[in-house]
Amino acid sequence: MGECMQEYKLFIGGEWADSSTGETFKDTAPATLETIGIFQKAGAQDVGRAVDAAEDAFPAWSSTPAPQRGKIIFRAARILEERKEELSRKLTIEMGKVLPEARGDVQEAIDITYYAAGEGRRLFGETTPSELPDKACMTVRRPIGVVALITPWNFPVAIPAWKLMPALIAGNTVVFKPSSDTPMLAAELVKILTEAGVPAGVVNMVTGSGEVAGKAIVNNMKVRAMSFTGSLDTGKWILGEASKSMKRVSLELGGKNPIIVMDDANIDLAVDGVIWGGFGTSGQRCTAASRVIVHEKVIDTFREKLLARAGKLRLGNGLLESTDVGPIINNTQLRKIAGYCDIGKNEGATLLLGGKQAKMNGYFFEPTIFTDVTMDMRIAREEIFGPVVSLINASDLGDAIEKANSVEYGLSSSIYTESMRSAFKAIEKVDAGLTYVNASTIGSEVHLPFGGVKATGNGTREAGSTALEEFTELKTVYFDYSGRLQRAQIDIEG
């Protein structure tokens, strides 16, 4: 056992508790394969207790004035800020991303926490005139109730914070199930919320498998809304199951995000964008640039420059300054990425770089580039979630956009061009929730909506003011002060 080894518990009703199953699992550092913590495998009974605790805490929390809830969330933001460096290092150890990116992850959590705290003094509804005299019309926001948040491992603090903070400021109480690959940072976040003054029962954390704990959450009738970020298959399953209890569901699923490089693009800038979007976080982002659709007039130059840059990327432990690309989260993901490289070769794509696991201790995969990729190949259509970039030819903008749109996902997208016309065409025609112009597919900011179209989600948007739509019910209020019966649609002159 390593020095920092600790056994973590479930957090239910303000208490740290063992799971009823008595079973635990190990949290492994992907760069060193060391066990860094022991976590509880929650059973259905534990999930039931967590939901009940959240339900009990709901009346008081939802009745607390939102600006008061905001004060608590502001304190959480300050604690996150004070502990940024320590949390970032832990995040690099637990998840693997390089330290500057881990700092970005924590910063994103700090940003959304401040942003959500400020919403405590907004939470705006609408007012609008009535069609009748002496009558006021407005909307007010109400919390939904107990909400469940199921989060992935690739942004161990930022994504939980994206969901927790808007849910809490709106007055909901929470059951939070983090990924089993990154439960340590989740536990840190829960401790910070508690330290900031979030009352017992308002946030409950259960760790464990999707098959047991996740399933118990989805099937619990008292959970009124769920927010999930993860795979398409799991998302589809949640949506189907949740319909039985009419839960509101918000899904953030996969991506197969294209960067279009036009013949008038600044090629060096586009190469920077592909390196950052394709290999940053070892390609383990929903927003990762996994397809690069390049105008055929510039593809040779582009390919050469990209290869030169990608070939210099240094794999290693994310804590070291010399590292550009960290490890893959676990062996299953590593095998999946390797499997896709075999598929790509069998499909006839040309492997330009990488394509294999690195001979290092830890889960490392070499930055990989395929060229001569066509849109019928699986590597061009399916989410790989690793450092694998596919180069695809396009004859013109129309062809590039058609190829960009020919996959089932639609999260992020980007175009490199000096032409305003091409840029606006892409904004208009690319089927995606996000389009970047002359910037990579990654790097969304917390005060703008985040989400995708088609199989990427079910229409909701996280972050920004739209995060509140995810976690509030609107009530429409008609306030008649005429003192007489007034019939809408009927008692109207003219």
- In the complex, which residues of this chain contact ligand UN1 (CB under 6 A)? 108, 154-155, 229, 285-287, 442-444
Nearer to ligand UN1 by C-beta: 46 or 462?
A: 462
Whether 252 sits among the annotated catalytic residues: the reply is: yes
Place of tokens 């002060």: 481
Nearer to ligand UN1 by C-beta: 267 or 415?
A: 415
Q: Which residue type occupies 435?
A: T
Nearer to ligand UN1 by C-beta: 214 or 457?
A: 457
**Least distance to ligand UN1, CB of residue 287, Å:** 4
Q: Which residue type occupies 130?
A: S
Q: Of 252, 462, 469, 470, which is the active-site residue?
A: 252
Nearer to ligand UN1 by C-beta: 285 or 305?
A: 285
**Least distance to ligand UN1, CB of residue 154, Å:** 5
Nearer to ligand UN1 by C-beta: 18 or 382?
A: 382
**Least distance to ligand UN1, CB of residue 454, Å:** 16
264: tokens are 């008038």
**Least distance to ligand UN1, CB of residue 114, Å:** 16
Burial 41-62 (b: 16+ CB within 10 A, else e): bbbbebbbbbbbbbbebbeebb
Do 136 and 127 touch, CB atoms closer than 8 A? yes
| CA-to-CA separations, 7 to 4, 31, 92, 184, 371, in angstroms, rounded | 10, 21, 19, 10, 46
Nearer to ligand UN1 by C-beta: 280 or 367?
A: 280
**Least distance to ligand UN1, CB of residue 75, Å:** 24
Q: Of 101, 286, 341, 383, which is the active-site residue?
A: 286
The sign one gets for the Cα dihedral 170, 174, 178, 182 is positive
Do 389 and 378 touch, CB atoms closer than 8 A? no
Length of the chain: 494
For the CA atoms of 246, 249, 255, 261, the dihedral, rounded to the nearest 10 degrees, stands at 110
Whether 286 sits among the annotated catalytic residues: the reply is: yes
**Least distance to ligand UN1, CB of residue 153, Å:** 10
HSE value, Cβ hemisphere, 13 Å, CA-based, for 59: 2
Do 453 and 432 touch, CB atoms closer than 8 A? yes
| CA-to-CA separations, 30 to 26, 166, 387, in angstroms, rounded | 12, 31, 15
Task: State the catalytic residues.
Answer: 252, 286
